[in-house]
Amino acid sequence: MRVSVIGCGHLGAPHAAAMAELGHEVIGVELNPETCKILQTGRGAFHEKGLDELLDKHVHTGRLRFTTDLHEAAATADLHFIGVGTPLRSDGRGYDVGQVVGAVRSLAPLLTRPATIVGKSTVTVGTVARLQEIIREHAGSEGVDLVWNPEFLREGHAVEDSLYPDRIVAGLASPEAENAIREVYAPILARGDAELIVTDPATAEVLKSAANAYLSTKISYINAMAEVCEITGADVATVAHGIGIDPRIGHGGMRPGIGYGGGCLPKDVAAFTHRVGEIGATGAAALLNAVEHINHARLDAARDLVETAHGRPLDTATIAVLGASFKAGTSDVRNSPALRLAGLLHSSAARTIIHDPESVPAARRLHPEYTYADNIGTALRDADVVVLATEWPQYTRDADLPTAAARAVRRKVLVDVRTAVDIDAWAAAGWTVHQLGRPAQQSTA
């Protein structure tokens, strides 16, 4: 099929590459000329595991190209994915859907033959109905269908999740639209490992918001239990393991830490919380308000843990922060709890130096006032406390790191706010290890 992907950011670029890999002829439309220029060279404008390889492959086979020109996409493609951003409004009261409305409003009059518009961006319930109106009013042809096809990819696994999704949700209203969805995803559906859920647009909208809200609730739940463990002296890691054995609960999302972040969960929970409150779903609003409250509070708990670990006021400490991106596998620093914690420490400690294998350029653009190290050795040198803030494998799986790091620092004190390291290996190399919701592990060296 000839498809376009409008908006080639964290969702759109992997999706465009995946559509080319599935055999479609793809044209990616990206408004930002700098981003577009990078994509045209067959690279991503940010780090995402496996993305550069897939972009490079298909930009050079000619099956995938990028442009800033929407006319070219309208003229070429029969199906148009919309992957533009839906940031939180500046007052926090729901999404700013300007990019989505703008993209559909610009595209509709250019469509002079039947086509399918497939929205992948996350929107509040009611947005699809509004877009349908715009299409009815402005489309340049009869037979322009709108489908809402929310995306569930995980950053850090975006390519894999785009190629091998666990579900495809399609909110639609006509047999033609369903045929188009079945055709564009045919290679995935033929494998039989992804469920296709065909539903109405409102259900698709709510389904996506409900999924992100549930994930955030699970994360906040175990983080709330970490708070209980801190007060009672219990060990939250054992609690998480023990409760997760029950298949009704499960272990996914059960690792205690500094809370959720990134370009999706914080804004999606905030927008959904506002919306459910607005429509009078008071129970849902109360639950989600608590989820958000817990998430914010864990950052302060992490800062306090660093101070406890240091044993003195933080303004006497040199702190190495390992990790700035919101999770491992991506350079995305949007709403990153790691970078926020680094910010709290930056404003309290004598010296805070941040290392990240991929996201230092993005972090530096956002916070030029912080100090960054290009290599881990520089970050660790003379540190009084090392804070593991993002669970990159370089930090958590390198068996030599505890010993190598021990030689660089002033004091062997590790605060692992992701509950990610092999605590015994670090203790055996002489470190005292602190994790949220767990008793400190003293050095066993």
Ligand X SMILES: NC(=O)c1ccc[n+]([C@@H]2O[C@H](COP(=O)([O-])OP(=O)(O)OC[C@H]3O[C@@H](n4cnc5c(N)ncnc54)[C@H](O)[C@@H]3O)[C@@H](O)[C@H]2O)c1
Q: At closest approach, how far in Å is the CB of 38 from ligand X?
A: 11
Give yes or no for residue 48 binding ligand X (CB under 6 A): no
The active-site residue, picked from 8, 36, 229, 264, is: 264
Q: In the structure encoding, which two tokens stand for residue 354, read together?
A: 């941040």
End-to-end CA distance of the chain: 62
Could you tell me which stretch among 149-157, 169-177, 313-321, 434-442 binds ligand X (CB under 6 A)?
149-157
Closest CB to ligand X among residues 306, 333: 333
Q: Which of 37, 61, 69, 102 binds ligand X (CB under 6 A)?
A: 102
CB closer to ligand X, 10 vs 47: 10
CA distances from 316 to 311, 312, 348, 419 (A): 10, 7, 9, 25
Give the number of residues in contact with ligand X, rule: CB under 6 A. Answer: 26
Contact range with ligand X by CB under 6 A, out of 30-38, 127-135, 245-253, 300-308: 30-38
Question: Binding string to ligand X for residues 81 to 100, with x set by CB under 6 A, is what?
Answer: --xxxx------------x-
Buried/exposed 95-133: b ≥16 CB within 10 Å, e otherwise: bbbebbbebbebbbebbeeebbbbbbbbbbbebbeebbe
Question: Which is nearer to ligand X, 212 or 435 (by Cβ)?
Answer: 212
Under rule CB under 6 A, which residues in 56-85 are in contact with ligand X? 83-85
> Should residue 35 be labelled a site residue for ligand X when binding is judged by CB under 6 A?
yes
Question: What's the CA gap between 242 and 225, in Å, rounded?
Answer: 13
Among 4, 116, 122, 124, binds ligand X (CB under 6 A): 122
Site for ligand X in 179-198 (CB under 6 A): none
Shortest Cβ contact with ligand X: which residue?
9
CB 395 within 8 A of CB 357: no
Q: Which of 1, 32, 50, 203 binds ligand X (CB under 6 A)?
A: 32
Centroid of chain to Cα 384: 31
Are 253 and 216 within 8 A, CB to CB? no
Contacts of 390 (CB under 8 A, 6+ apart): 322, 323, 324, 325, 326, 327, 328, 336, 338, 356, 418
Catalytic positions, please?
264
**Chain positions contacting ligand X, by CB under 6 A:** 6-12, 29-32, 35, 83-86, 99, 102-103, 121-122, 151, 153, 155, 263-264
